[in-house]
Structure 1
Amino acid sequence: MPVTYGTIGSGWITDSWISAASKSKKWELVAVYSRDQEKGNEFGNKHGCSTVFSSLDQFAANKNMQAVYIASPNSLHYEQAKQMLLAHKHVILEKPATSTTAELNDLFKIAKQNRVLMIEAYRHIQEANFKLLEKVVNQEKRLGPIYGASFQYASYSSRYNNVLNGETPNIFSLDFGGGSLVDIGVYPVTFAVALFGAPKSQTYVPYICRTGVDGGGVIVLQYDNFGVQINHAKAYTSSAPCEVYGEHGTLTMNATTDISTIKHLNSQTKETEELAGSYKTAEKPFVNMEEEATEFARIVEEDDIAAAGKLEEVSKIVLNITQDLRRQNGILYPADKDEKESTGETIARVIQPV
């Protein structure tokens, strides 16, 4: 039987999830929540769902719903996920799951106490070609000792035009927990963490835009014997590939998401071999989320605590990195300020936006 679920959030990413979940045949949409009943009805009709709530309490109390997919503005994730977990619903929470590590740890604790699962929706590390890459990175014969890596995700956002015009879209707002790092920078950061684990330290040189959040920048993750450079942005575009450098060879990928090619260059022979398997593309205008939908349904259906635990560990490491990088550069959200007030600690130096 498919996992019955409801949605919070009615943007394009929710459309993509519903499409992917339907294609996987592992999920059944049974409820929609929207603060605006009329907009909720419109969204529900669009996806063939007639059960629409404008009350979050009534939505959470729906007994026909096993899980909830949450893709609301970042700053709302914590409270909404907490309410769903306390109502004994599994939660698939779009990245970034929360603004702070304290919030994230609390959600995982509540999930365990209520015997439900919470999964942060990092779709790209569920791709078949990423899982193939994980295996190849650990093959001594192909790479040997790893000396470094370079990962990219820099794509100019149409909403940055709004910033340039004096507006503040949610994704570029401090109040809504926005910025390039938490929106798309987390993709290459998660990519690195899933491949190499937690770094020893991290540094960040961001471009701070008018609204006070980062429009992009360069990150360095320091591991025991190598570094990983990450270039991400919503204020500019990069067409550079992604690479992992080893003594025996170099792996080159087209991107950190939607991996369609993994090329191995032999350092000695200079021969190149394509390793990637077939790539499942999503029909426009949706993004590829079918592999994550299938895997998350399996984890829920089988109550696979081990798999959920591995994803939890990745989420915790990634948020620890991004929180530290933000605070290093004075990019503070309301949740950071609440934490500062409750602990009395100074958590960051403030850098004025340019």
Structure 2
Amino acid sequence: MIKLGTIGTNWITQQFVDAVKSTGLYDVTTVYSRHIETAEQFADKNGAADSFDDLKAFFASDTFDTVYIASPNSVHFEQAKLAIEHGKNLIVEKPAFMNQKEMAEIQRLLDQHPDVLYFEAARNIHTPNFLSIQKKLGELKTVAGAEFTYSKYSSRYDKVLNGETPNVFSPKFGGGALQDLGVYTVYDAVTLFGMPEEVAYYPQLIRTGVDGKGTAILSYPEYTVTLNFSKISNSHMTSEIYGLKDLIEIDDAGEIQHVDYLDQDGTRHPLGTDSGQNPMIPEANDFARIINDPANDQNQKDYAYWRQLSVYVNKILFNLRQDAHIFFVGETE
């Protein structure tokens, strides 16, 4: 049984806790929050025995061996370093790190601590429906490009409109659309098509100085992949991967709950299933498989692949921000 500690007590942490509990492979034992009352409330709700508001004491505890980090983006790096130094496996909510410098330092530390496992929680690429897309993509005679869309209005944007700056829209905390919903679309593209030759980003900046929405273009030798994402508007447009006369249609690039293949006559052929389950369950199962049997040959291959994907996605996110001249607090051009 994997003993799990959590950092963060928001809705996404709760969703992950619900997912790991449903697998039967994890025991949620320990909770950290900046406020002990919040930590205790979250622990009581989820059956965890220990609560902390001191980060160093939290990581020094022997009550957990794996930590799920779902704090604001800007503090992932320092918390991840502490996890590695204390020998804890780490599952870091996307985007794992802010820039290539942080990612390189984490990779260096991981190499120095080979018994520590690191995962970026990019749930979409672990779902059965995503695997069905990968399989069908391999059967297309020609790939002519793709468009991935993931746009959901954030309730926190109401606060921006009222003159506030919530973390998800703050340059201090690494906020913005690219660093949130955009990560899913980048993971889709890199996992399915590999690293692009060039990238360009066209953001719509909002009052707080970050991107509320944007369009990214990833250029490959024979086609382009367009990424559309927004936290300040909704979209019900599907995502598509193009063949010549056929295509793969996806309900959206983040949730991926429904996938169809449309043949050259336009006939629909369902791919995957509409499970309706907690979307974090597949990644929770995948992470547990590696943690519980890290010496298995296939597990080693999968782990190395996911770790490399995380590095690639980090590089693309950083390059897209550089292209659009978007910098966070503490960064320089």
**TM-score normalized by the length of structure 2:** 0.95
- How far is 1:328 from its partner? 1.7
| 2:257 aligns with one of 249, 260, 267 | 260
Paired with 2:37 and 2:268, the residues of 1 have a C-alpha distance of 56
List aligned pairs for 1:1-354, cutoff 5 A.
Answer: 2-115=1-114, 116-139=116-139, 143-267=140-264, 269-282=265-278, 288-303=279-294, 304-337=299-332, 347=333
Name the aligned partner's letter for residue 250 of structure 1: L
Distance in 2 of aligned mates of 1:333 and 1:198: 24
Any idea what the Cα deviations from partners look like across 1:44-66, whole Å, max 9, x if unmatched? Answer: 11111121112111111112311
| 1:272 Cα deviation after fit | 2.2
* Shift, 1:190, TM fit: 0.7
Q: Pick which of 248-257 and 66-75 moved more.
A: 248-257
Counterpart amino acid of 1:296? F
Other structure's SS at 2:4 match: strand
Deviates more, 1:256-265 or 1:112-121: 256-265
Whole-angstrom distance in 2 between the partners of 1:57 and 1:168: 29
Q: CA deviation at 1:280?
A: 4.0
Q: Deviations over 1:77-101 (max 9, x none)?
A: 0000100111000000001101111
Aligned to 2:13, what secondary structure does the other structure show?
helix
Task: Give the aligned residue type for 1:133.
Answer: I
Query: 1:341 aligns to what?
Result: none
The residue type paired with residue 111 of structure 1 is L
Aligned 8 A contact 1:99 1:335 in 2: no
Across the two proteins, how many residue pairs are aligned to each other? 328
Instruction: Give distance in 2, aligned partners of 1:298 and 1:109.
Output: 24
Q: Report the secondary structure of 2:158's partner residue.
A: helix
Distance in structure 1 (CA, Å) of the matches to 2:305 and 2:276: 24
CA displacement at 1:278 relative to structure 2:
4.4
Matches of 2:210 and 2:63 in 1, distance apart?
Answer: 40
SS of match in other structure, 2:253: coil
Give ranges in structure 2 of 5+ residues lacking alignment. Answer: none
Deviation string, structure 1 residues 271-306 (Cα, Å, up to 9, x no partner):
221122342423xxxxx2111111111111111332
SS of corresponding position for 2:180: helix
- Residue 61 of structure 2 aligns with an amino acid whose one-letter code is N
What RMSD in Å do the two structures reach over aligned CA positions? 1.3
Following TM superposition, by how much is the alpha carbon of 1:187 offset from its aligned partner in structure 2, in angstroms? 0.6
Per the TM alignment, residue 226 of structure 1 is displaced from its structure 2 partner at its CA by 0.5
Secondary structure in structure 1 of the residue aligned to 2:218:
strand
Q: Aligned partners of 1:186, 1:335: CA distance in 2, in Å?
A: 21
**Whole-Å separation in 1 of the counterparts to 2:30 and 2:178:** 32
Q: Is the 8 A contact 1:129 1:279 kept in 2?
A: no
Give the conservation status (yes or no) of the 8 Å contact 1:144–1:248: no
Distance 2:257 2:48 in 1: 34
Cα distance in 2 for residues equivalent to 1:108 and 1:27: 26
In 2, the alpha carbon distance for the partners of 1:110 and 1:181 equals 27
Q: Which amino acid counterpart does residue 293 of structure 1 have in structure 2?
A: A
Is the contact between residue 181 and residue 254 of structure 2 (CA under 8 Å) also seen in structure 1?
no
Q: 1:112 deviation in Å?
A: 2.5
SS in structure 1 at match of 2:39:
helix
Larger mean CA deviation between 48-57 and 236-245 belongs to 48-57
Q: Matches of 2:330 and 2:7 in 1, distance apart? A: 21
SS of corresponding position for 1:259 = coil
Separation (CA, whole Å) in 2 of partners of 1:217 and 1:278: 29
Judged with a 3 Å threshold, the aligned counterparts in structure 2 of structure 1 residues 272 and 55 are, in CA distance, closer, same or farther, namely: same
Q: TM-score, normalised by structure 1?
A: 0.90
Partner SS for 1:182: coil
Q: Given residue 272 of structure 1, which amino acid in structure 2 is its aligned partner?
A: R
Distance 1:302 1:108 in 2: 21
Of 160-169 and 50-59, deviating more is 50-59
Distance 1:134 1:207 in 2: 31
DSSP-derived class of the 1:334 partner: coil
